[in-house]
Structures are given as C-alpha cells and as structure tokens.
Structure 1
C-alpha cells in the first residue's frame, strides 16, 4: 500500500523563493497543496486545504511569521508549522516557537536538510538549525514556573513518556527506549493530554519543556 504523501503549504512573500521551495518539495514526493504570501492568505488557505505541514517565513508584508503562525494554527489547529527564515535572531526564533511553531530552520540549509526537516515535522518532531534548539530550551527553562496546585498529577511513566515527547521522539522510538509497546506509549500520551486538557503532541511537548519535564531527573 502506497503511503499518502505529506500535504505541505509554503508561506513566503518572495515569489521566486516560494515557488522554488514548492517545486523542490514536489520533486521530493510531497504534496504541495497551497502557497501563500502573507498572514491573511496563509490563514485562509490553511483553513481551506488543511495541510499537514506549513513551511513559514518570518518576514511578510502584513505581519511577522509569528503572527502568521498563530493565525494558521487558529484556523487549522492540527497543522505543524516549521519556520524557514533567513533570520537566526534570538527574538525571531523565540517569537515563532511561542506562537506555536514546532521547529525553526534557516534558509541557508541544504535541500536535503529541508526535506528531512519537513518529514520530521510531519511526524511531530521538533527540528532546529544546529545551535537554535539550545537557545529555545534555555529560554523555556528560564521562564519555567512550578505547576499550579490544581495541576493534574501525572504518573511517573507518563512523565517519562513526556520527557521523550519533548525531545521530538516518535511513539516507536519512545517504546524502544522504555521497552514498552508503541500502543502503550500512545495510551500514556492520550492520558496526559486528557489530564492536562491539551490538544496535541506539540502542546504536550511545550508543556513538558515549560515545566522542566524534558530534563533527566
């Protein structure tokens, strides 16, 4: 049975770059379902075509990539946003992640790196240009606060699973590390989502990072 290709939308205000990236991804087997050149058009098209992955620039005429990311996720909450930007400035990276982006890649990346990053993002993994992941984790740890007293209690196994989710590992990889079945991993993920009232693995990973659960105890 042929695997369904990832549905991708490319958002960038530069036509040549936008179409070039879309062409490259199509040649690599992705289904590029839409392109957009700004915040408003990105949100509208995401709602219409419901892509799996949104490749997002940080500079657009009607707002930043962070604003566009928030708008896209409001219109299509299950989308996974990967920023592809010329900027590796700290503020741009943090704004994008806080808006809901799953990863951040600079435009100097090789085509093979971009292809791998899009595939990983589609699998729910956080992908960063080398050096940026530490910046993001460091910032979340700096602002991390203790859970409120009424925060639901997670089991030790759920915390172990969350720790690996925060590192971007797939259910199969987590299962191998913890010597349990992938189905059991998914059961723990589902239980944590219900307890914490979160919508998906991206939010779960962010929760784990914010509360320091991604660090080895």
Structure 2
C-alpha cells in the first residue's frame, strides 16, 4: 500500500510538478493538492483518507505554513509535515520545527533528496538534512561560541539586556545590574530594537518569548 502525500503550495505549476514527480517515486501516491493552508484543512475535513505526509510551503495566502503546521499538529497529530520552501531564514525554520515540522527542504533540492526525505520521515519519523541540522543547532544552543544569539545576531551584552528588559526592572535598574551607565543601556536598547525589528519594550518581550530567547 503506498504512502499518501498531500501538497499545499499556492503556485499551481510548482504543485503540479511536485505531484508528477512524487508519483514516479516507488511506494508513494499523491492524495490531494491544495492552494494554501485553509484549502488543505478544508479538503482534509472531507477526505476519507488522511495523508501520511504533507509537503508544506511557508508563504501562502489565506493561511501560511506556520499556522497550517500548528493546525495540523492539533487536528491530525499522525500527519507528518515536511516543509518545502524557497525560504532559508533560520528563524522560520525554527518556528516551523516548533509548530511540528519533521523536516525542512529548500525547493532547490534534487529529486533524490526529496525522495530520501520522504523515505526517512516514513521510516524514522523525521528527516534532518545537513542544512536543517546546521541551522537547528545554531539556533537552539542559545549563545554560540562567538557570543552571538544567531536568531537576531545579538551579542552577549545585548542578550543580557534583553533578558533584564523582559522583567519589571526600569532602565536605570538594568544599568545598575549590568554595571554600565544609563546612556550605555540606551545604546543596547536601540541595537536590540533594531535587530529584532520592534519599536517598544512590549513588542520586544513578545518576540523574545515567541522565538524562545526567554521564558516568562
């Protein structure tokens, strides 16, 4: 009995080409093709058969890959997600993993690697490519050996400021804790805001929790 694959990609030609390719692999068949995450979930609701693996793009209208992966994990925990995206941003990879993805491939990969990934996910439950493993280790180990937080490229002092600023301490309190002047703390704040692309302390704290940089 073949393993069933569902594809969610808003580019019709890409989705069609993927479907044709997968049908040529031994022991695989394409169950359905969806235009986006919402379309995928709607089709699954009316399907008598669940896919074994969902090939999921990230950037899609209606419902993107992040939300789709999260919904799949909640509604269909036996369905495994393999991301296939043009997006090579490290923070996006980590976010997809946290939302339940079992592997992450770039669309520039060879057909043989896609076939290998499907086989590994079916047999082992996951596929860790060299790219996937490198990015995962860089982001999940916290401060790296060169003193940066790789998600936002924060150095150790900026990361220390971030953790203190996500508490109820005032900026003057933070300056005392870090044994620096308030002017230096202002510099840390401006650097962290810029690197994290936020405009205020609340947004910074929310983003830090979202990306696992702090625990509240």
Scaled by the length of structure 1, what TM-score is found?
0.60
> Which whole-Å CA distance do the structure 2 matches of 1:76 and 1:46 have between them?
9
Count of aligned residue pairs for this structure pair: 141
Deviations 1:21-64 (A, max 9, x none): 01110111311111111111112233433110111011101232
Q: Which has more radius of gyration?
A: 2
Query: Larger RCO: Structure 1 or Structure 2 (Cα < 8 Å, ≥ 6 residues apart)?
Result: 1
**How much has 1:137 moved relative to structure 2?**
3.3
CA contact (8 A) 1:46 1:72 kept: no
Match of 1:179 in 2: none
Match of 2:142 in 1: 142
CA contact (8 A) 2:58 2:83 kept: yes
Secondary structure at 2:101 match in 1: coil
Match of 2:59 in 1: 59
> Which whole-Å CA distance do the structure 1 matches of 2:120 and 2:42 have between them?
25
**How much has 1:128 moved relative to structure 2?**
3.6
Residues 1:27 and 2:19 aligned together: no
**How much has 1:129 moved relative to structure 2?**
3.9
CA contact (8 A) 1:105 1:127 kept: no
CA contact (8 A) 2:103 2:132 kept: no
Secondary structure at 2:6 match in 1: strand
Match of 1:17 in 2: 14
**How much has 1:75 moved relative to structure 2?**
2.5
**1:65-104 → structure 2 map (5 Å cutoff):** 65-104=65-104
